[in-house]
Amino acid sequence: ENSPRAFQNSLSTISKSPNTSASVKSKSNNKYLDVNTGDTLYMPNSPSELKENTSDSDRSLTSVRSGSSLDALPDGKFPIKSNRLELIWGCLKIGRSSIQEFQIRNQLNQRIRMQASITGSSFRLVKDNHDSEMLTVIAFVLRPLETKSFSIMFCPTKIGAVSEKINFHPILGGEIQHSKRQVLTLFGYGGHVNCDIGNIMKDPGGKLWLSLGKIECQTFIEQKFVIKNSGTLFAFACVDIVLKGPFTYSNLKVDSRQVVVKPQDEVNISVRYYPSKPDLIHLKSTGIVEIGCIKIITGAEIIRGRLRRLYAKLKQKDTPIDPLIERLSSVFPGENMPSDLRYLKESVSAVKDLLLQLSFREVAVTIEQDLESTLVNPIMDMDETTMYHTLYQDDNNITEIGDMTAIKRETSRLFSIEPTNIILTFPMKREDTILLHSMNSKEMAFDVKVEPSDLFSVFPTNGIVCPYETMVIKILCHPESRKTANNTGRVLVYIENEATEIS
């Protein structure tokens, strides 16, 4: 879907629409070259002229092109083509990073000098695929008909929606033409969900299964499993049952098919089976039977909200819609949509990228008449390498820090700090970040010290970290450090009567 050919074909369909380019080409000599299709299109002189020459059917097409494509410049002076309309990220944990690539191509048989710049602080240009060289502005030259790749890193620093842009400006006579630009839009969201399924079993092959137990003469048998969200954002789960076997087993039910899970919370899902008389006869003569499969879809509520907005746009165009998108766009009990959802204005082509942010799992539902034979024996026959792991020596050291004795460690029950080691290479890499993650339901005060202070500095040196949030601490290498080779130091983070050391 994101291939250059598919990208060009989709834009070609827009540009050849009888209501758009064909109708406006004859209205004026003020034309421009579409950077995505190469077609010559009408360029209005003013917003009022644009409104006058745009019909209702044109507006939806125009919004798709201007909202996420490279906007063409007057007089066709900037003939470049891109293989991406926009770059879409899902939800990313604070302090983590994710890289995507796109390409632009020079359509002329002459060199073009350009500058690319990113607005905001959550996205960075990665120079020559080196994570240590991240820039917000870069100048470059496109040779005749050359295609150049760009890598963009998304690294959110706070929870919430992020909508930024890459601006491309031509450089003429050594001057950056700020009045002329083309834009590619970037969308992402800071924060994450982590949905785990508990109270179920996993076989050596990784298959998940839920045993309802032994069937006797009871009216129904019941078992529960848990969906736990250990992330920082609201999560959702869709639960469906697919029946299988020689009988229909139509009386297999779940009590909740659509649930919302708060951060650091969990929900219980009950699975009940009401056996019919034919089922009882068959099941009592069989050791173990797989009567169905539970399909579970999990993801962040913000992703579902973004899909809901695109679903509304697809309905307006009478486009065939996948039933999964329609279901995810419905109202869930207790749903919580962030207010900053309005900043994420992706085009309908982003549907596939957003669906890839969801997790799909299957859990087999079984009934076992002889638990001893179906549970114990297979485990005894397992390959021992799937059961045992090599133990390693605990090399945590007890260090004296002032009047406090503390254990050097990476994590705590109330907080975690990463990374545990930092390497700065002056002058290429003068600074780095330390992430302090709170796993406490209360605010926690912290203090930070760095040694030696004449070579390194940190910011902030103290503060408050809110419940379940992440504090970013920056460490900077002073220019004086280059006078001495192999400088070493340490950062001490004091929080909740504990001290953690980062070297």
Which backbone phi and psi does 349 adopt, to 5 degrees?
A: -70, -10
- In this structure, whether the domain defined by 398-502 belongs to CATH 2.40.30.330 is answered with no
Least confident among 16-20, 143-147, 209-213, 364-368: 16-20
Query: What pLDDT is stored for residue 418 in this prediction?
Result: 81
Q: Residue 292 is which amino acid?
A: G
Query: What pLDDT is stored for residue 263 in this prediction?
Result: 95
Q: Are 440 and 403 in contact (CB under 8 A)?
A: no
Write the pLDDT tens digit of every residue in 348-372: 999 999 999 999 999 999 887 655 5
Write the pLDDT tens digit of every residue in 260-274: 999 999 999 999 988
Query: What pLDDT is stored for residue 64 in this prediction?
Result: 33
Query: What pLDDT is stored for residue 289 in this prediction?
Result: 82
| Other Cβ atoms within 10 Å of 490 Cβ, number | 13
Write the pLDDT tens digit of every residue in 121-131: 899 998 776 65
Compute CA distances 257 → 196, 235, 267, 322, 358, whole Å. Answer: 17, 14, 12, 19, 16
Mean pLDDT of 97-126: 91
Distance CA(128)–CA(230), nearest Å, equals: 36
Nearest to residue 213, comparing CAs of 425, 365, 54?
Answer: 365
Domain boundaries, the chain: 4-69, 80-190, 195-380, 398-502
**pLDDT at residue 109 is higher than 60:** yes
CATH topology agreement for domains 80-190 and 398-502: yes
Distance CA(368)–CA(180), nearest Å, equals: 71
Mean pLDDT of 134-145: 90
Using a pLDDT cut of 90, give the percent of the chain over it. Answer: 36
Q: How far is CA 132 from the centre of its chain?
A: 22
- 124: which residues sit within 8 A by CB, 6+ positions away? 118, 134, 135, 136, 152, 153, 155
**pLDDT at residue 192 is higher than 80:** yes
Q: Is the peptide bond before 467 cis (omega within 30 degrees of 0)?
A: no
Beta-bridge partner residues of 405 = 400
Q: How confident is the model at residue 150 (pLDDT cuts 50, 70, 90)?
A: very high
Dihedral angle over CA of 310, 311, 312, 317, nearest 10: 90
Least confident among 38-52, 189-203, 237-251: 38-52
Query: What pLDDT is stored for residue 486 in this prediction?
Result: 60
Q: What mean pLDDT value characterizes the chain? A: 76
Write the pLDDT tens digit of every residue in 303-317: 999 999 999 999 998
Q: How confident is the model at residue 25 (pLDDT cuts 50, 70, 90)?
A: very low
Compute CA distances 388 → 204, 325, 384, whole Å. Answer: 12, 42, 6
Query: What pLDDT is stored for residue 382 in this prediction?
Result: 41
Q: Are 423 and 502 in contact (CB under 8 A)?
A: no
Distance CA(423)–CA(431), nearest Å, equals: 9
Query: What pLDDT is stored for residue 427 in this prediction?
Result: 61
374 secondary structure, DSSP code: I
Q: How confident is the model at residue 324 (pLDDT cuts 50, 70, 90)?
A: very high
CATH number of the structural domain 80-190: 2.60.40.10
User: Nearest 5 degrees, angle CA 160-CA 162-CA 163?
Assistant: 150
232 secondary structure, DSSP code: S
Distance CA(35)–CA(37), nearest Å, equals: 6
- Number of H-type helices and E-type strands within the chain: 10, 33
Q: How confident is the model at residue 383 (pLDDT cuts 50, 70, 90)?
A: very low
Beta-bridge partner residues of 166 = 118, 184
Mean pLDDT of 460-482: 78
Query: Tokens 């380019």 appear where?
Result: 21
Q: Does 340 or 55 have the greater pLDDT score?
A: 340
Between helix 56-68 and helix 4-15 the angle, nearest 10°, is 150
Render 263-328 in DSSP notation, one character per residue: TTEEEEEEEEE---HHHHHHHHT-SEEEEEEEEEEEEEHHHHHHHHHHHHHHHHTT----HHHHHH
Using a pLDDT cut of 70, give the percent of the chain over it. Answer: 70
**pLDDT at residue 227 is higher than 50:** yes
Mean pLDDT of 112-116: 92
Q: How confident is the model at residue 204 (pLDDT cuts 50, 70, 90)?
A: confident
**pLDDT at residue 159 is higher than 80:** yes
Q: Which of 126-130, 296-300, 397-401 has the highest mean pLDDT?
A: 296-300
Query: Tokens 């019919």 appear where?
Result: 276
**pLDDT at residue 26 is higher than 60:** no
Query: What pLDDT is stored for residue 297 in this prediction?
Result: 97
- What CATH class is the domain 195-380? mainly beta
Helix (H, G, I), strand (E, B) or coil at 347: coil
Q: How confident is the model at residue 92 (pLDDT cuts 50, 70, 90)?
A: very high
Write the pLDDT tens digit of every residue in 35-88: 334 443 333 333 333 334 444 434 333 333 333 333 444 454 567 889 998 999
Which backbone phi and psi does 150 adopt, to 5 degrees?
A: -125, 140
Query: What pLDDT is stored for residue 410 in this prediction?
Result: 40
Beta-bridge partner residues of 83 = none
Mean pLDDT of 328-333: 95
Dihedral angle over CA of 310, 312, 315, 320, nearest 10: 30
Mean pLDDT of 244-270: 85
Q: How confident is the model at residue 24 (pLDDT cuts 50, 70, 90)?
A: very low
| Other Cβ atoms within 10 Å of 122 Cβ, number | 22
Query: What pLDDT is stored for residue 479 in this prediction?
Result: 66
Q: Is the peptide bond before 246 cis (omega within 30 degrees of 0)?
A: no
- 94: which residues sit within 8 A by CB, 6+ positions away? 156, 157, 158, 159, 190, 191, 192, 232, 435, 437, 469, 470, 472
Q: How confident is the model at residue 499 (pLDDT cuts 50, 70, 90)?
A: confident
Rg, Å, the chain Cα set: 29
Q: Are 190 and 183 in contact (CB under 8 A)?
A: no
Full 3-state SS string of 104-140: EEECCCCCEEEEEEECCCCEEEEHHHCCCCEECEEEE
Distance CA(358)–CA(329), nearest Å, equals: 14
